[in-house]
Chains A and B, each alone.
Chain A
């Protein structure tokens, strides 16, 4: 499943970040910021309008991502 399909409060483990285009700069930046295989992520909150942006915790850091960005991150949901 994709990172953007998580419900608020749910966690998952990153499988991979997919390139939307050859040498996708957004995907590369996501990997630089810590979205790499095996990393735990949690959806902390969503923006007030249109369920966007997503507030995602990865490692010790929180990032605001739009759905299009979070859609690149493939994850496995952690059963609660």
Chain B
């Protein structure tokens, strides 16, 4: 028998904010695998652990749901797996229903819904530490007797906090829950259970009230939000810079060592001009991506993100979005793919569509390599008004341009599709929580892992292909121009250049745009490869790419390419994820077309104006 057949399959279910994912991390540690459910892009998180007895368990972390009467694609998955009717997923052997001890009134109702299924289940009353601090006492034994299913306490953020749950799982033979005993009026039953088993001195945490008075204040709240956003972007650029320089120097030194060791010839060119010049450049952006995700995860874990959504809902709904769009759009600053996937928590189809369509306009971290290269090359490092740096201001302006365009476009879409039903918000603002370092580390590792996997697979492969296209065929004997002019890549670049000539793009840029479709940052590594091959001497490494670019392109070309990258859908994975999320090519095709049209127009205007201004 296979290992999978021997182990017990358990699924964690529970309402949003019950601490389910923290409990999942506690149970499985780093032994987890993130993928998608067949046919949909809802994240499927699975892990495993071995109990003290040696029994092994497979744990599935189901999407959070308030009810099995699903109201969103996420909740539908949870419902279908609980009923055992999701294609390709076996029905779990045991359902572990997680409830927040401080929010039992809401979560017990869901527990009762799950009990109604009549399957083996365990109720995990989570965050017992927080409940105790607030003076809440829960008689778990009485609750177990009333529910007729095992009830255990868990503290997901503590070592051994899941010991009681593991012990309860680690016994043979499980009785199905007495599903038919569940009365019809679940709310009345919850009230009865609470009266019989829970003593609660106050309905809310005093701390939450105090923090919310400031955080949700009409003036201070908005100010605080602005300060937090500014601090994040400042940190992403200021703090990451020294680490990036270290990474860059390290890669440079490694490249030089390897270069000395390899004999002259195509292999050396592949390693130095292809791999080191290409992939190395992209790797330098890992620190920025990690810092951005540290902040996003911190805000998410602490409970602040829904507050930001509360503050911005009215503003965003005027622009045809919703407060719920804030979280997907903020994630899109790191990468549009998780952002577009996060949009499935938006119940209203129109808001969800608008969010998906404008998410690619948020400046993702993959654009940073392109922006930093071009800004470094074309914008002078000058103080402005004694406080700001001109380069920083230009970068800020590029972010603002993306956001402003997104608001404008969603507003236009709202005008076109007027009067199509009511749009709801219905967002829970959970209790504030101190972020847990372990959960933060696991979340960060997940993100870094996805990025590194991309670098070592897609980006590496494309860099090698591009190196090949740029190196062969070699220059004929007696040729005067650079060798790359005669290569396949040179021919392709020259062929498509007329289309982009009105935007001021050179044929080298045109070559870089093509592999850049796989991932925006590849454009930089491609330029690195193209210019490294073009250069007479071998010692031209990526750190000097900015100097080469500055000397070979006009200012107008640089600015035009910057503007191009605000809009251009230069990322096939984003298009693919839009197609999957919207079940068809229609929306994905529309997104591609409108973004390309915008990019072309904006770059055209930028270039023509810049030529007039800078000559």
Chain A contacts to B: CB under 8 angstroms: 20, 25-26, 28-30, 32-34, 36, 39, 44-45, 47-50, 52-53, 55, 57, 59-66, 68-69
Contacts and interface: CB of A to CB of B under 8 A. Distances in A.
A4 B113 CA distance: 30
Nearest to A47: B314
B426 A63 contact: yes
Given A33-B106, A48-B222, 15 more contacts: A26-B422, A26-B424, A29-B71, A34-B106, A45-B212, A45-B216, A49-B314, A50-B314, A55-B429, A59-B203, A60-B102, A60-B203, A62-B428, A64-B309, A69-B424
A30 B426 contact: yes
Interface string B299-314: 0000000100111011
Q: Which of B306, B309, B426 has the most chain A CB atoms closer than 10 A to its own CB?
A: B426
Q: Interface residue tally of chain B, by bracket?
A: 35 or more
Interface in B464-515: none
B520 interface: no
B283 to A, nearest CB: 41
B151 interface: no
Closest 10 CB pairs of A and B: A48-B218, A59-B105, A49-B314, A64-B427, A32-B67, A62-B429, A64-B310, A36-B187, A50-B314, A45-B216
B456 interface: no
B109 A34 contact: yes
Interface of B: 66-67, 69, 71, 102-106, 109, 187, 200, 203-204, 212, 216-219, 221-222, 306, 309-311, 313-315, 317, 323, 422-429
B306 A64 contact: yes
B428 A47 contact: no
B400 to A, nearest CB: 20
A13 to B, nearest CB: 14
Contact of A60 (B71, B105, B109, B221): B105
Q: Which of A20, A30, A59 has the most chain B CB atoms closer than 10 A to its own CB?
A: A59
B426 A44 contact: no
A69 B425 CA distance: 8
A18 to B, nearest CB: 14
Contacts of B219: 48
B323 A64 contact: yes
Nearest to A24: B422
B212 A61 contact: no
A63 B429 contact: yes
Nearest to B113: A32
Contacts of A33: 66, 106, 426, 428
B312 to A, nearest CB: 9
Contacts of B106: 33-34, 59-61
A55 B216 contact: yes
Contacts of A26: 422, 424, 426
A63 B427 contact: yes
A59 B187 CA distance: 11
Q: Which of A28, A53, A63 has the most chain B CB atoms closer than 10 A to its own CB?
A: A53
B66 A49 contact: no
